[in-house]
Chain A
Amino acid sequence: MFQLTRRAALALATSTLTAASIASPALAQRIAPPSTTPVTITYYNYNLASAGIGAEATKMLINEFMAAYPHIKVEGVPVASGQVLARVQADIVAGRVPDVAQIVFSDLDFVVRNLGVKPLNDIIPPEEWTAHTAGMVPAGLKLGAIGDKAYGLAYVFSTPVLFYNADLFKQAGLNPDQPPKTWADVKAAALQLKEKTAKSGIYPAVYSEFDWLLQGVFLSNGGRALSEDRTRVTFGEPAAVEAVAMLRDLLKSGAHANMREAEAPDAFMSGNLGMILTTSVYQRSFLKAAKDKFELRAAPMPSFGDKPSKPTNSGSALFILSRDPVKQRAAWELMKFMTSKRGYTVITSEIGYVPLRLDIVDDPQYLGEWTKQNPLIRPNLEQLSRLNQWVAFPGANYKQISRIEVGAVNEAVFGDGDIGKIMRDAQERAQALMPTVP
């Protein structure tokens, strides 16, 4: 009896959903032309879920948008960054398809394969697409793309920045005007700082759930987490292993503070940690904490010897999930606004992400004044031109793969086992989870 009811219910739900959400899978339909018909769209956003400034700034932008487009009502849905995808999935299953969602780059492959997202450059009229994306950093725009199809519009992102406490540098007899450039410099500076000031040296924040910064460290040493053709897991190959070995050496030498990643920003803000390599998004909190206590400075990501460092990006893109052309139009208007000059002015100055439009940086109408007062943004901007894509693992098990990767790095750096073996074993287990059809 249950079986039947269940089947019926499932069939009904599926057909309703199919009808509602997959209008014509074969033919990418264009979004509706602009109109003034009232429409309400939902906007899943993780900055809304962050306490404090990220939420306030995003709410402000949404309100400005609604004032400019009175016929569009935006319902902001706050979801934590690590949970956006699960939430989007759950809501799609429940028949509440989100209209616009801010989704982390590591979910890109999954979103494209499973949520049936259509390329923006297919559904948006070409002239509108070209007009809007003109002036956006090309390397940034690529982040939401697979091949030449832009599925998501790159929205907020950060790069890895080496923040350092200039006062501790001075106390330790280091020159704060010459921050460490290579990992060897970092080690030497951290050890000197530790010895002279009895504070901790450096913390590279590469051990958490998202592997973007870790991928940057691999890349900087010529390694990769995933092969370029996206078929092989490669974090167990020599260049990546060597990068992990450098981290282990940093830790065992005492230069690398032995603490949990979540504690490192607190330690840095309280003046107990000399350097921290982390997302540029921390800039605002760090500035606030450093005010009247110590001088905060920032340097680009350290390199391995002479090889230039290859910073990756963290962050997210905006995706249109709605299948209704009218809502898609409203969604596109919202996306345009959020990634406009005004949008990035607020996002950069109020939250701390990198602006995807460099022409606003020195424009007094936008970020000009702010940039003058906040020179810390410069290393971040400088890295933008040589930004590398944070690669999303493919297939249904992509999250499990990155978990294995991050778990292995933790084990290899903080443990005593053979680094090469740990990383190779992990690579092999991860490879078994890769999709057989790429």
Chain B
Amino acid sequence: MSHAAELPRIAGAANGLAALAAARTKWVVPALFLAPAFVTLGLWIYWPLVEAFRLSFYEWNLLPTSEPLFVGLENYRRLLALSELRTAAWNTVIYTVGLLPLTVALPLLIAILTRESVGKAGAVYRALIFVPMMIAPVVVAVVWRWLLNPDHGLVNKALGAIGLPAVRFLQEADTAIWAVIFITGWKLMGFSTLLFAAAMTNIDRHLIEAARIDGASEGQIARKIVIPLVTPTTIFLTVLTVLHGAQWSFVYINVLTQGGPRNATTNLYYLLWEYGFSTFAIGWSTAAGMLLFAVFSLFAVIGLKAMNRHDQRVA
């Protein structure tokens, strides 16, 4: 074969190679941009997850002086055999359901009521509602412990002033869980209200004005326009509460009741933390983590489905 005939083919091949190289390098730049995110996610989220899954089959305390002992499903079996587990699971449901009025219903109501308050008054209102959110949880817990003290707490003083007997809020099994739920919710209310308020400012004013011209009352506007239009936020906050509600109460349980009296305020997070994390027993803790991961993944999937369905319906 002559060289002349070969030249175009080489040129063609070169072109092809260049194109190929271009095609190959086309993803390099985006990949470089994405790499930090992927590496970070992988390093901090997915690798620990895989590693935790693996370690949940061992009995080990991370010490280089002792060997990890493979125990199979023993850690899971031990956790599931805890006598407090049933109470803790049920309490977790109570925490979740009990928090919803405080993290969704009440903030929605407050946001609707303060929707029209603009200017300084509105700012002060929102600031007041948001302040609890900014206080450190342990501080909140300690302050509430004082407020709820049966002997000299302000709440009981107030109850006494109107002739009611003192309530041992955090000491009695029937009231303790509600006290903890209330404190958790009180702390979160500002955050939810803020989200609702933000969602409401996105509502087209024309819709509301048109409704007003048509003679709709404020109640009707709230029911027929505002509430339906902030549904994505409502679903989001509901999902968030379901997924994290029990977790948010952890600090208050730890500081105020340590799960007591007689496990009345313990929940899955607290119980598993008590057994798993207080001793550095990595098998117990990772198995506990995996169990929580499994249960709450299920809730997360359901929640995400609900959000998607809503988005599709709207689209």
Q: Could you list which residues of chain A lie within 8 angstroms of chain B, going by C-beta atoms?
A: 2, 6, 13-14, 17-18, 21-22, 82, 85-86, 89-90, 92-93, 113-116, 258-260, 263, 270, 272, 396-400, 403-404, 407, 410-411, 414-415, 425-426, 429, 432-433
CB-CB < 8 A to B274: which residues of A? 403
- Report the nearest A residue to B260, measured CB to CB: A260
CB-CB < 8 A to B84: which residues of A? 407
6 contacts between A and B (CB under 8 A): A2-B42, A92-B65, A399-B279, A426-B83, A429-B83, A432-B81
CA distance A399 to B278 in the complex (A): 8
Once the chains bind, are A432 and B78 in contact (CB under 8 Å)? yes
| With known contacts A2-B47, A260-B171, A115–B63 Cβ distance under 8 A | yes
Once the chains bind, are A415 and B262 in contact (CB under 8 Å)? yes
| With known contacts A2-B43, A86-B280, A89-B280, A114–B65 Cβ distance under 8 A | yes
| With known contacts A2-B47, A414-B261, A433-B78, A82–B63 Cβ distance under 8 A | no
| With known contacts A400-B275, A403-B274, A407-B84, A93–B63 Cβ distance under 8 A | yes
CA distance A380 to B275 in the complex (A): 34
A92 touches which one: B59, B63, B261, B284 (CB < 8 A)? Answer: B63
Once the chains bind, are A82 and B81 in contact (CB under 8 Å)? no
A396 touches which one: B42, B61, B263 (CB < 8 A)? Answer: B61
A116 touches which one: B47, B65, B280 (CB < 8 A)? Answer: B65
- Report the nearest B residue to A114, measured CB to CB: B66
B65 touches which one: A21, A404, A425, A433 (CB < 8 A)? Answer: A21
CB-CB < 8 A to B119: which residues of A? none
CA distance A21 to B43 in the complex (A): 29
Once the chains bind, are A14 and B279 in contact (CB under 8 Å)? no
Once the chains bind, are B281 and A397 in contact (CB under 8 Å)? yes
- Report the nearest B residue to A400, measured CB to CB: B275
A89 touches which one: B63, B170, B261, B262 (CB < 8 A)? Answer: B63
Beyond the given pairs A22-B65, A113-B66, 4 more chain A to chain B contacts, judged by CB atoms under 8 angstroms and listed by A's residue number, are A85-B279, A86-B278, A260-B261, A429-B83
Once the chains bind, are B63 and A114 in contact (CB under 8 Å)? yes
| With known contacts A114-B61, A396-B61, A90–B78 Cβ distance under 8 A | no
> Total interface residues on B, using CB and 8 Å?
29
CB-CB < 8 A to A82: which residues of B? 278
Nearest-Cβ distance from residue A418 to partner chain B, whole angstroms: 14
CB-CB < 8 A to A399: which residues of B? 278-279, 281
- Report the nearest A residue to B173, measured CB to CB: A414
Say yes or no: is B240 at the interface (Cβ < 8 Å to chain A): no
Pairs A-B, 8 closest by C-beta atoms: A399-B279, A89-B280, A17-B64, A116-B65, A93-B62, A14-B64, A86-B280, A114-B66
Once the chains bind, are B63 and A18 in contact (CB under 8 Å)? no
CB-CB < 8 A to A22: which residues of B? 65
Once the chains bind, are A13 and B64 in contact (CB under 8 Å)? yes
CB-CB < 8 A to A270: which residues of B? 151
Nearest-Cβ distance from residue A112 to partner chain B, whole angstroms: 11
- Report B91-116 CB contacts with A as 1/0, cut-off 8 Å: 00000000000000000000000000
CB-CB < 8 A to B82: which residues of A? 429
Nearest-Cβ distance from residue A169 to partner chain B, whole angstroms: 22
Once the chains bind, are B64 and A89 in contact (CB under 8 Å)? no
- Report B268-286 CB contacts with A as 1/0, cut-off 8 Å: 0000001100111100100
Nearest-Cβ distance from residue A6 to partner chain B, whole angstroms: 8
CA distance A6 to B43 in the complex (A): 10
Nearest-Cβ distance from residue A401 to partner chain B, whole angstroms: 11
CA distance A400 to B64 in the complex (A): 22
CB-CB < 8 A to A397: which residues of B? 78, 279, 281, 284
Nearest-Cβ distance from residue B72 to partner chain A, whole angstroms: 14
CA distance A403 to B260 in the complex (A): 13
Once the chains bind, are B78 and A89 in contact (CB under 8 Å)? no
CA distance A131 to B170 in the complex (A): 53
Residues 36-73 (chain B) with a chain A CB within 8 angstroms: 42-43, 47, 59, 61-66
CB-CB < 8 A to B170: which residues of A? 260
Nearest-Cβ distance from residue A165 to partner chain B, whole angstroms: 17
Nearest-Cβ distance from residue A267 to partner chain B, whole angstroms: 9
| With known contacts A13-B64, A399-B278, A263–B171 Cβ distance under 8 A | yes
CA distance A263 to B151 in the complex (A): 11
